[in-house]
Chains A and B, each alone.
Chain A
Amino acid sequence: MGKLTDFITQDAPGKRVLLMGNQAIARGAIEAGVQVAASYPGTPASEILETLADAAQKLGFHAEWSTNEKVAFEVAAGAAITGVRAITSMKNAGLNWVMDMFMTLVYGGVRGGFVIAVADDPDAHYSSNEQDTRFAAFYGEIPCLEPSNAQEAKDMCKYAFELSEQLELPVFLRSVTRISHASGDVELGPIKAPERRPVFDKHWRMAWRWNVYGPPGPVEKHRWLHSKQAEIEQAVEKLPWNELKLVEGAELGIIASGIAASFAKDALRLLGVEDKVAFLKLAAPVPVAKQLTSKLLKSVKRVLVVEEGEPVIELQVKALAKDVAPGVELLGRFTGHVPRVGELNPDIAKQSIAKALGMELEKDEEREKIKEEIQKLVAPRSSTLCAGCPHLGTYWALKQALKRVGGKVPIVNGDIGCYEQGGYGIAGKRYEPSDSSESKAYPIQAPYETLDTNYIMGGGIGLMQGQHHAGYKDGALVAVAGDSTYFHACLPAIVNAVYNKAKGVFVVMDNHWTAMTGHQPDPCTGVTATGEEAAKLSIEGIAQAIGVEFVEVTDPYDLKATQQTIERAIQSGKFAIVVSRRVCTLQALRLKQYKPRAKQTRVNEEKCTGCMLCVSFGCPATTFDTERKKAGIDPILCVNCGMCKQVCPFGAIEEVKE
Chain B
Amino acid sequence: MSELNLIIAGVGGQGSILASHIVAIAAIKAGLRARVGETFGAAMRGGAVASHVRIGKTVEGPLVPCDGADVIVAVEPLEGLRNAVKFLKPGGLVITNIHPWYPMDVNIGRARYPSMEEIEQAISKLKGKLIKLDATKLAQEAGNVRTANTVMLGALAATGKLPFPAEVLKEAIKENVPPKTIDANARAFELGMKALSK
Evaluate contact between B43 and A515: CB separation under 8 angstroms: yes
Q: Closest residue to A631 on the B side, CB-wise?
A: B108
Chain B residues in 8 Å Cβ range of A125:
39
Quote the shortest CB–CB distance from A25 to chain B (angstroms).
Answer: 15
Evaluate contact between A371 and B34: CB separation under 8 angstroms: no
Chain B residues in 8 Å Cβ range of A620:
46, 104, 107
Which one of B58-66, B148-156, B157-165, B188-196 contacts A? B58-66
Q: How far is the CA of A613 from the CA of B135 in the complex (A)?
A: 35
Q: Which residues does B use to contact A, with CB under 8 Å? A: 11, 18, 21, 24-25, 27-28, 33-48, 58-68, 78-79, 81-82, 85-86, 90, 102-114, 118-119, 122, 125-126, 175-178
A302 CB within 8 Å of chain B:
no
Given known contacts A2-B178, A18-B24, A184-B36, A624 and B109 CB-to-CB distance under 8 angstroms: yes
Q: How far is the CA of A380 from the CA of B79 in the complex (A)?
A: 10
Quote the shortest CB–CB distance from B41 to chain A (angstroms).
Answer: 6
Question: Which single member of B35, B82, B107, B114 contacts A182 (CB below 8 Å)?
Answer: B35
Quote the shortest CB–CB distance from B130 to chain A (angstroms).
Answer: 13
Chain B residues in 8 Å Cβ range of A1:
178
Q: Closest residue to B64 on the A side, CB-wise?
A: A346
Given known contacts A380-B105, A625-B109, A586 and B21 CB-to-CB distance under 8 angstroms: no
Chain A residues in 8 Å Cβ range of B122:
374, 377
Evaluate contact between B47 and A383: CB separation under 8 angstroms: yes
Question: Which single member of B35, B41, B110, B112 contacts A183 (CB below 8 Å)?
Answer: B35
Evaluate contact between A346 and B65: CB separation under 8 angstroms: yes
Evaluate contact between A624 and B61: CB separation under 8 angstroms: no
Most buried by B among A148, A185, A418: A185
Chain B residues in 8 Å Cβ range of A515:
43
CB-CB contacts below 8 Å: A336-391 with B: 345-347, 350, 367, 370-371, 373-375, 377-387
Which one of A28-36, A257-265, A395-403 contacts B? A257-265
Evaluate contact between A586 and B78: CB separation under 8 angstroms: no
Given known contacts A184-B62, A370-B126, A623 and B108 CB-to-CB distance under 8 angstroms: yes
Evaluate contact between B65 and A383: CB separation under 8 angstroms: no
Evaluate contact between B125 and A374: CB separation under 8 angstroms: yes
Question: Which single member of A148, A181, A384 contacts B38 (CB below 8 Å)?
Answer: A181
Evaluate contact between B44 and A623: CB separation under 8 angstroms: no
Given known contacts A380-B105, A380-B111, A383-B47, A185 and B62 CB-to-CB distance under 8 angstroms: no
A178 CB within 8 Å of chain B:
yes
Most buried by B among A125, A370, A377: A377
Evaluate contact between A586 and B43: CB separation under 8 angstroms: yes
Question: Which single member of A126, A259, A374, A387 contacts B126 (CB below 8 Å)?
Answer: A374
Quote the shortest CB–CB distance from A274 to chain B (angstroms).
Answer: 10
Chain A residues in 8 Å Cβ range of B46:
381, 384, 386, 620, 637
Given known contacts A18-B25, A183-B36, A378 and B78 CB-to-CB distance under 8 angstroms: yes
Evaluate contact between B105 and A381: CB separation under 8 angstroms: yes
Evaluate contact between A377 and B81: CB separation under 8 angstroms: yes
Q: How far is the CA of A387 from the CA of B101 in the complex (A)?
A: 14
Q: How far is the CA of A515 from the CA of B41 in the complex (A)?
A: 12
Q: How far is the CA of A625 from the CA of B112 in the complex (A)?
A: 11
Chain A residues in 8 Å Cβ range of B79:
381
Question: Which single member of A266, A380, A427, A623 contacts B60 (CB below 8 Å)?
Answer: A266
Chain A residues in 8 Å Cβ range of B82:
378, 381
Chain A residues in 8 Å Cβ range of B18:
2
Q: Closest residue to B52 on the A side, CB-wise?
A: A182
Which one of A516-524, A542-550, A563-571 contacts B? A516-524
Evaluate contact between B104 and A519: CB separation under 8 angstroms: no
Evaluate contact between B108 and A624: CB separation under 8 angstroms: yes
A-B contact pairs, 7 of them (CB 8 A): A3-B176, A183-B36, A263-B63, A383-B41, A427-B105, A516-B44, A612-B108
Most buried by B among A2, A350, A634: A2
Given known contacts A2-B176, A2-B177, A377-B81, A266 and B104 CB-to-CB distance under 8 angstroms: no
Chain A residues in 8 Å Cβ range of B86:
371
Given known contacts A18-B28, A347-B66, A370-B125, A183 and B38 CB-to-CB distance under 8 angstroms: yes
Q: Which residues does A use to contact B, with CB under 8 Å? A: 1-4, 16-18, 20, 43, 125-126, 148-149, 178, 181-185, 259, 262-263, 265-266, 269-270, 345-347, 350, 367, 370-371, 373-375, 377-387, 418, 426-428, 515-519, 586, 612, 615, 620, 622-626, 634, 637
Quote the shortest CB–CB distance from A194 to chain B (angstroms).
Answer: 28
Q: Closest residue to B106 on the A side, CB-wise?
A: A379
Chain A residues in 8 Å Cβ range of B63:
178, 263, 345-346
Evaluate contact between B103 and A382: CB separation under 8 angstroms: yes
Chain B residues in 8 Å Cβ range of A182:
35-38, 62
Q: How far is the CA of A470 from the CA of B79 in the complex (A)?
A: 48
Evaluate contact between A428 and B126: CB separation under 8 angstroms: no
Q: How far is the CA of A248 from the CA of B38 in the complex (A)?
A: 38
Evaluate contact between A149 and B35: CB separation under 8 angstroms: yes
Not counting A185-B24, A346-B63, a sample of 12 additional A-B residue pairs whose C-beta atoms are within 8 angstroms of each other reads A126-B41, A182-B38, A183-B34, A183-B38, A270-B65, A380-B103, A381-B82, A381-B105, A384-B44, A427-B104, A516-B43, A518-B43
Question: Which single member of A3, A126, A377 contacts B175 (CB below 8 Å)?
Answer: A3
Chain B residues in 8 Å Cβ range of A378:
78, 81-82, 85, 114
Evaluate contact between A379 and B112: CB separation under 8 angstroms: yes
Given known contacts A3-B176, A18-B36, A270-B65, A149 and B60 CB-to-CB distance under 8 angstroms: yes
Quote the shortest CB–CB distance from B137 to chain A (angstroms).
Answer: 14
Evaluate contact between A178 and B61: CB separation under 8 angstroms: yes
Most buried by A among B21, B47, B107: B107
Chain B residues in 8 Å Cβ range of A178:
37, 61-63
Q: Closest residue to A370 on the B side, CB-wise?
A: B125
Q: How far is the CA of A265 from the CA of B35 in the complex (A)?
A: 14
Chain A residues in 8 Å Cβ range of B39:
125, 181
Evaluate contact between A184 and B114: CB separation under 8 angstroms: no
Q: How far is the CA of A399 from the CA of B40 in the complex (A)?
A: 30
Given known contacts A377-B81, A586-B45, A185 and B34 CB-to-CB distance under 8 angstroms: yes
Quote the shortest CB–CB distance from B35 to chain A (angstroms).
Answer: 5
Evaluate contact between B33 and A622: CB separation under 8 angstroms: no
Quote the shortest CB–CB distance from A181 to chain B (angstroms).
Answer: 5
Sorted nearest first, the 8 A-B pairs with minimum C-beta distance are A626-B109, A182-B62, A381-B103, A262-B61, A379-B111, A183-B36, A623-B107, A262-B60
